[in-house]
Amino acid sequence: MKKTNTNISDAFLLLYVALIVGCWLIAISKFPTAVTLDDGWIHLTFARNLAQKHIWSINPTGSTGGTTSLLWVLLLSLGFLFTDNGVAISYAYNIVLLMLSALLIRRIPGELFPRSRTGWLTLAAIIAISAGNLIWFAFTGMETLLLLTIGLSAIYFASQKRFFLAGLFAFLSAPTRPEGIIISLVIAILLLRREKRKITAAIIASGIMGLIVVCLWNFYLTGTFLPSTLIGRRWIIGVGPTANFNPIHIAYNFFRIVGVWGFRLMQFTFGEQLLAKLGLADWFCWSIAGLCAIISLIGFVLYVNRMKFIATGLLIWSVLTIFAYAVMMPTRGHAGRYQPMIIPFVMICFALGVRYLWRIKTTRILLILITFVSLCSLYVWCVITQMSLIHFEKVHISAARWIAKNTPPKAKIAAFDIGALAYFSHRYIIDLGGLIDPQAGRAMYNGTIPQYIIKQHLDYLAMIYPYTSPDVYMTELKIDQFEKNGELRLLKTFHIDIEKPYWPGDAARLLTNTIKVYKTKWKKQHR
């Protein structure tokens, strides 16, 4: 009977996820050509070139680094064997991964409260999966849900003592993202006192082997074992050009990331933005979000007191991932796309807090209303998705298509946001941000971008202008000197007007609302 109830619960959960995703697909059906993050286009460009041209590159020729997910590109490339619609491929994979993640998340409340009714366990899973940020990941074109699914699968199979499968997923974690190696460490910690040391060592070895594969592939592409995204962009890591090993700074970064996560969840998942859009007073909106945070803290206490294998694994994975970013990359956001395990963890705590307070009859109506508001925040993220797609269609994709029609096929184009530009223009891209070219990243850190640009002999420049500080890149990188000297001629501007607060900008870190395309006209001293 218990197995039958579990199967019914899983089926109902999958139906719920399908319904939510279906509503989102209908809402974004007017924008079928876009994903919500420019990095998603980078993965799709690599995958298309791999499938159609048999090269590992973002450019039409040669080979480059620039993608931190070997496995995600390989999976996407398989899709290109059947269709040229990269967006459809990405959506299809991520929707399936979202459903698999939901099934794995469903196991955690069941482990915490094994004697609870199936209905409550299903409701807890629904609350956990209803975080709009988690659904939004399915439309980014990124490997976020792949990392979440692989990590949860490795922990789940280890809990079932199916160690071969646990080791397999531990092996796949590093090719999904380099920091995925943390998953094998999590399982090793969980198994250390329960199983034989040989099994623990084998799990760790599986993760290390996956990381070795990634390192060897990076060495083949760039001559170094580190991803080009890490080599070229060390300027965003820690305080200086290298990793940050100062304990005080690490502690500060850790709690800063936790604070950013708490603020984001209160604002976009626990209903503050939803209520604000209804015209309610700010103090009331934040009070409701604060109550949700308090309920989650109550649930956290229950979580820690009752957690067993899977729940412990999710907590350790969340903490170690935040710690790793505190050491290596203490940035404010990336929209949480590299720390997806935190979302179901917090939402499960919220569900546990609601369950605990339900025994107090006087709070039940309030709990129902608060939970309803949190579930309805899916609408906020649906709007975020719509606005993100409009943003890319009007700015990035429009600029890329214009370049495809109005520049020579062999033109060299320098840019920061290179994903959509590379995918739609089919031109040779010079990445000023250092994702695919470590030298560019070093030039940014050393303040020598002008010299780098001259050395590359570029033909066009597609410059981004963030809505917060429009001229920041032109002035800080000293590219404006070329414009002042008449060496850059403005050809076309692509712009979208943005309301403030701009939901995609606040929630998903989309900061660029203008791209200007310039033609270079180098003077003799630069030739």
Query: Is residue 234 very low, low, confident or very high in pLDDT (cuts 50, 70, 90)?
Result: very low
The count of residues in the chain is 527
- The two beta strands, 460-466 and 512-520, are antiparallel
Give the CATH number of domain 386-526. 3.40.50
- Tokens for 70, please give them: 């070997």
| pTM score | 0.92
Please state, for a pLDDT cut of 90, what percent of the chain lies above it: 41
Question: What amino acid occupies position 78?
Answer: L
Classify the C-alpha dihedral 276-278-281-285 as positive or negative: negative
Q: Virtual CA dihedral for 390, 504, 26, 23, nearest 10 degrees?
A: 180
**Rounded distance, CA 523 to CA 366, Å?**
70
- Tokens for 359, please give them: 């025994």
Give the per-residue pLDDT at 229.
67
Instruction: Supply the DSSP symbol for 524.
Output: G
Taking residues 179-205, report their average pLDDT: 86
- Tokens for 407, please give them: 């520049």
**Rounded distance, CA 443 to CA 433, Å?**
9
- Tokens for 337, please give them: 């796309």
Q: How far is CA 442 from the centre of its chain?
A: 24
Instruction: Supply the DSSP symbol for 488.
Output: E
Answer yes or no: is pLDDT of 504 > 60.
no
As a whole number, the mean pLDDT across the chain is 85
pLDDT digits (tens, 9 = 90+) for 465-499: 887 777 888 888 888 888 888 888 999 999 988 66
Instruction: Supply the DSSP symbol for 276.
Output: H
Residue with tokens 């967006």: 87
Burial 145-155 (b: 16+ CB within 10 A, else e): bbbbbbbbbbb
**SS3 per residue for 181-245:** HHHHHHHHHHHCCCCCHHHHHHHHHHHHHHHHHHHHHHHHHHCCCCCHHHHHCHHHCCCCCCCCC
Angle at 466 between CA 36 and CA 58, to 5 degrees: 50
More reliable by pLDDT, 474 or 232: 474
- Report whether 56 contacts 48 (CB < 8 A): no
**DSSP element (H, E) containing 466:** strand 460-466
User: Of the given ranges (165-169, 294-298, 374-378, 425-429), which has the lowest mean pLDDT?
Assistant: 374-378
Can you give the residue ranges of every domain in the chain?
233-376, 386-526
For residue 492, how many other CB atoms are within 10 A of its CB?
Answer: 15
**Rounded distance, CA 177 to CA 521, Å?**
41
pLDDT digits (tens, 9 = 90+) for 245-283: 678 878 888 888 888 888 888 988 898 888 988 889 999
**Rounded distance, CA 2 to CA 340, Å?**
30
pLDDT digits (tens, 9 = 90+) for 29-78: 887 778 888 889 999 999 999 999 999 999 988 888 778 899 999 999 99
User: Of the given ranges (50-59, 120-129, 303-312), which has the lowest mean pLDDT?
Assistant: 120-129
**Rounded distance, CA 271 to CA 415, Å?**
37
Rounded alpha-carbon distances, angstroms, from residue 490 to 5, 383, 424: 64, 33, 21
For residue 263, what are the contacts with CB-CB under 8 A and spacing of at least 6? none
Question: What is the separation, in whole angstroms, between the first and last Cα of the chain?
Answer: 78
Is the bond into 178 cis (omega within 30 degrees of 0)? no
pLDDT digits (tens, 9 = 90+) for 368-417: 888 888 888 888 888 888 888 888 888 999 999 999 999 999 999 999 88
- DSSP helix/strand/coil, 415: strand
Of 23-32, 80-89, 236-245, 514-523, the range with the highest mean pLDDT is 80-89
For residue 308, how many other CB atoms are within 10 A of its CB?
Answer: 13
- DSSP helix/strand/coil, 35: coil
Give the per-residue pLDDT at 301.
95
Give the per-residue pLDDT at 525.
57
Answer yes or no: is pLDDT of 236 > 50.
no
Residue with tokens 């705590």: 349
Taking residues 489-510, report their average pLDDT: 69
Q: How far is CA 311 from the centre of its chain?
A: 22
Give the per-residue pLDDT at 238.
39
More reliable by pLDDT, 433 or 58: 58
